[in-house]
Amino acid sequence: MLTIFKEIFIWWNRQTLGTRINTLIFGKLVGTDQLGNKYYTDKNGRRWVIYKNEIDASNIPQEWYSWMHFTKNQIEKVNKFSKYDWQKEHKPNATGTDKAYHPENNKNATKKKYNTWKN
């Protein structure tokens, strides 16, 4: 019951009720990524994603980002979304979270590295 309530009134929580109905009627599942996001298309060529968790555009891996934006990428055609051993796994943007990058020594990071000409 709470999920239906969220779909009706909260647009930033996965999908809305209208998106669910449009996906059921017109959507064709193209695939899913390693994060659990589902990618759809319709007969008119429109493409959309249903996020597994909270909506965040940085949760789309590079290969699906290219697909979403109709980018012709030769790597996709050859590899069919397979990854090489040297490629890292996709990580969503961690800004504003506990996993965000912070320099080791904050005192040196904010220290001026120049002398001003005014006193």
Its pTM stands at 0.59
- The DSSP-derived string for the chain is -HHHHHHHH-TTSS--HHHHHHHHHH-EEEEE-TT--EEEE-TT--EEEE-SSS--GGGS-HHHHHHHTT---HHHHHHTT---TTPPPP----TTSTTS---S-HHHHHS--S--S--
Q: What pLDDT is stored for residue 102 in this prediction?
A: 73
Q: What pLDDT is stored for residue 42 in this prediction?
A: 92
User: What does the pLDDT profile of the chain (119 residues) look like in tens digits?
Assistant: 566 666 666 666 667 777 888 888 999 999 998 888 999 999 998 999 988 877 778 888 878 888 888 887 654 554 456 667 887 777 778 888 888 877 765 555 556 667 777 76
